[in-house]
Chain A
Amino acid sequence: MKKLISAALAASLALSLTACGGNAAPAATEAAKDAAPAATEAAKETAAPAASEDPIRVCVVYTGSLGDKSYNDSCNEGAQKAVADFGIELKSLEGTTAEEWESNLLAACEDGYDLIIGASSNIADYITEHGPNYPDTKFAVIDTTVDLPNVQSISFAQNEGSFLAGAAAAMFTQKTDIPGVNEDAIIGWVGGMDIPVLHDFFTGYEQGAKYINPDIQILQAFAGEWSNPLKGKELTFAQYDQGADIVMNVASGTGTGILEGAKEKGLYAIGVDLNQDADQPGAVLTSMVKRVDTACYLTIQSVVEDTFAGGTTQYLALKEGGVSLTDFAVMKEHLGDKFPQDIVDKCEELAQKIAAGEIVVENYEGFGPAK
């Protein structure tokens, strides 16, 4: 019996190995094929202007994983565009726990990159702590401000974009002729980790919703993690059970579960960071797009073109196109005649008012344009 089991084990192991190999081989060669022309092109491009200099080496330290179809993927899109345009050398370090973030950052510092981008505000403390020890390394941090001479910061007016999302949700929850929308004026909001940036989102969301309906009730919850979709799903179900019919997610990888939960229940959600409208077609009303890709690209560009200015903060607001809502196209197609066009019109009107300064959206403490 023992011999039988071990024979069976060995056989299945061998099988699974060959299966893996079978899949791996073409994938690897394909990747190599893709990489080869890209690399030579890149080499040509950099070779022309910079005359045989080594490419600029950039490292992006993520506080989460790629594949979240949200914040991190958006940042990576910007970085990949910079690779295509400038021929830089790019390294991405992912990590899900605070210990990993710090050790990844330190590894990048020790590795002598020209530019190290901290992809989110989670990493700001570590840059504040270790940045001064590497005065010759250029750092950038997205989504928050670090006041050091070798750190360039880019942050967003997520409160302004969320104001529009809140207003859209507050109008949507009144459209009881749309399937699934109930009588109650209750909307939901589920965040990833309980950090200040997310409160800046929520501040805008709440103000926008109350601008439409002062009596509206807004449910708030945090998952405490960036990559736990099942937790996100449970929190969303809990808010649906409590009368919400639309829930905004600001939760990176946790958010995929929120959108899936909306689809499963036949209810609605709002996407974030990237355009998530088509991720669960018919369940995502709109997405609050935050141009993390632009921020990442601009930072790399500033190093390539030698305009990097440490100690400065850029603030990308609605006016500058740093945040916006999507065009509702996927939902329009899904609902057909029932689609409430007035929401889109009203949101456009509100966006113009915010850009013109007629509506001032409040910030959470410590956010907003530099004074």
Chain B
Amino acid sequence: MGAIFENLDKIINVSLIYATFRSATPIIFAALCAAITQQANILNVGTEGIMLVGAFTAVAVSYFTGSWVAGVAAAMLAGVLIAMIIGIGHIKYGADNCAIGMGVNMLALALTKFCLNVIFGMNGSFSSPDIQPIPRIKLEFLKDVPIIGEIFCNWSIMEWVVIVLIFALQYLFYKTVWGLRLRAVGQFPVAAKTAGINVNKIKYQAVAFAGMIGGLAGAHLSLGYSTQFVENMTSNRGFMGVAAMYFGGANPVLTTVGCLLFGFADSVGARLQAYGIPSQFVLMMPYIVTIAVLAISMAIKISTTKKRQSSLN
């Protein structure tokens, strides 16, 4: 324990800020993907699968075309296609969200494994110098500014995109007509229908939009965060995203706070391991945080519902 206090400056320092954001970014994308459908009252258990298909498509298309833009665009399209399985299954045929979501996750795992073998003749992973990664933005003018330079000067484009996306979605949900309709459809579909809103149309739009964001999340994993595709490379980030979405009640900004908590737990854990904390304990931290975050958000939800009810009486 003593070693931890002696080395506190190496555990809690400026680089921890970017590390937290870096490891949270994939989860933020995933959480936003889940938040969009949640607003339409569709629980998106398939986030993990959508991401995985996006990650594979991004690598494959970037490899064959030599263009990361094409890779990202294709990943978003692939995300929409996979999300539509959930959309059609749930909206048209009334399938259970959890069942169809898990189905999509398993399908994605098997499909990417199969395509990896058929298209590239590889097992397990694929990497090549021909894969065009998403470029990083080097802010040269910030480079010499202390602290700020260290935090901001070398971000991936996708890390800037996710920040824009958080606020764009916040605006879309709460300040636009479409957002109002989306929330109406989610909260009280009968009322929405009475008001002349085409409920199913809005739901399909939400699922398609979520698929795009999920695909983008995958593309970030395989072309931004790293430049390779590895089987099951999402490693439960999709599920952590869904948990964070619950924490934030599908509100993009609050959801992001939950994701940053995960990122922080992960990054501090990575630094703590060097000083004799058992690895098993450190590796448990993100999951403990997941449970804690969900417990807190549920407690808040229950107390606010109670308050509302008592003010009605």
A238 / chain B contacts, CB cutoff of 8 Å? 19, 267, 270-271, 274
> Chain A interface: which size bin?
35 or more
B121 touches A20 (CB 8 A): no
Q: How many angstroms from the CA of A233 to the CA of B224 in the assembled complex?
A: 13
Q: B235, A228: Cβ atoms under 8 Å?
A: yes
A67 touches B267 (CB 8 A): no
CA of A24 to CA of B88, assembled, Å? 28
Is B204 part of the contact surface with A, judged by Cβ < 8 Å? yes
Which residues of A have CB within 8 Å of B84? 5, 9
B154 to chain A, nearest CB (A): 10
Q: Does B204 contact A65, Cβ atoms closer than 8 Å?
A: no
Name which of A1, A31, A234, A239 has the most chain B CB atoms within 10 A of its CB. A234
- Secondary structure of the B contact surface, majority rule: helix
CA distance A24 to B116 in the complex (A): 11
**CB-CB under 8 A for A220 and B227, given A27-B119, A67-B126, A234-B23:** no
Chain B: how many interface residues by the 8 Å CB criterion?
A: 46
- Binding site of A, secondary structure by majority: helix, strand, loop or mixed? helix
Residues of A contacting B232 with CB < 8 Å?
96, 227
A 223-259 to B, binary, CB cutoff 8 A, 1 in contact else 0: 1110111110111011101110000000001001100
Q: Which listed residue, B13, B26, B126, B204, touches A5 by the CB 8 Å rule?
A: B204
Q: How far is the CB of B275 from chain A (nearest CB, A)?
A: 8
Cβ of B43 under 8 Å from chain A: no
Select from chain B the residue with minimum beta-carbon distance to A25: B118
CA distance A256 to B26 in the complex (A): 19
A114: interface (CB < 8 Å)? no
Query: Closest CB-CB distance, B213 to chain A, in whole Å?
Result: 18
Q: Does B135 contact A (CB under 8 A)?
A: no
B62 within 8 A of A: no
Q: B271 contacts A256, CB within 8 Å?
A: no
The minimal Cβ–Cβ distance linking A337 to chain B, given in whole angstroms, is: 26
Contact A220 B230 (CB under 8 A): no
| CB pair A229 B230 closer than 8 Å | yes
**Of B23, B77, B119, B221, the contact of A23 (CB 8 Å cutoff):** B119
- In chain B, what residue has the closest Cβ to A66? B123
| C-alpha gap A253/B19 in the complex (Å) | 22
Q: Could you tell me the distance between the alpha carbons of A237 and B20 in the complex, rounded to whole angstroms?
A: 12
What 0/1 pattern do residues 12 to 24 of B give for CB contact below 8 A with A?
A: 0101100100110
A to B contact number (C-beta, < 8 Å)? 129
A227-B232, A230-B226, A256-B127 as given contacts; A27 in contact with B273, CB under 8 Å:
no
Contact A234-B228, Cβ < 8 Å, known A1-B201, A220-B273 = no
- A residues in contact with B16, CB < 8 Å: 241
Question: Residues of B contacting A67 with CB < 8 Å?
Answer: 122-126, 231
For B280, list chain A residues within 8 Å (CB): 194, 224
User: Any chain A CB within 8 A of the CB of B266?
Assistant: yes
Q: Is the CB of A230 within 8 A of B279?
A: no
In the complex, chain B residues whose CB is within 8 Å of the CB of A219: 273-274
Q: Are B226 and A229 in contact (CB under 8 A)?
A: yes
A233 to B201, CA, bound (A): 42
- The yes or no answer to B225 lying at the interface (CB within 8 A) is yes
Residue in contact with A241 in the complex, picked from B15, B225, B226, CB distance below 8 Å: B15
Q: Which partner residue on chain B sits nearest A279 by CB separation?
A: B127
Q: Which residues of chain A from 198 to 229 have any CB-CB distance to chain B below 8 Å in the complex?
A: 219-225, 227-229
Q: Using Cβ atoms and an 8 Å threshold, which residues of chain B touch A18?
A: none
Interface residues of B (CB under 8 A from A): 7, 10-11, 13, 15-16, 19, 22-23, 26, 77, 81, 84, 88, 115, 118-119, 121-127, 200-201, 204, 221, 225-228, 230-233, 235, 266-267, 270-271, 273-274, 279-280, 283
> 12 extra interchain contacts, Cβ-Cβ under 8 A, other than A23-B119, A221-B270?
A5-B84, A9-B81, A20-B118, A24-B118, A67-B122, A67-B124, A96-B232, A194-B280, A222-B279, A230-B221, A233-B225, A241-B13
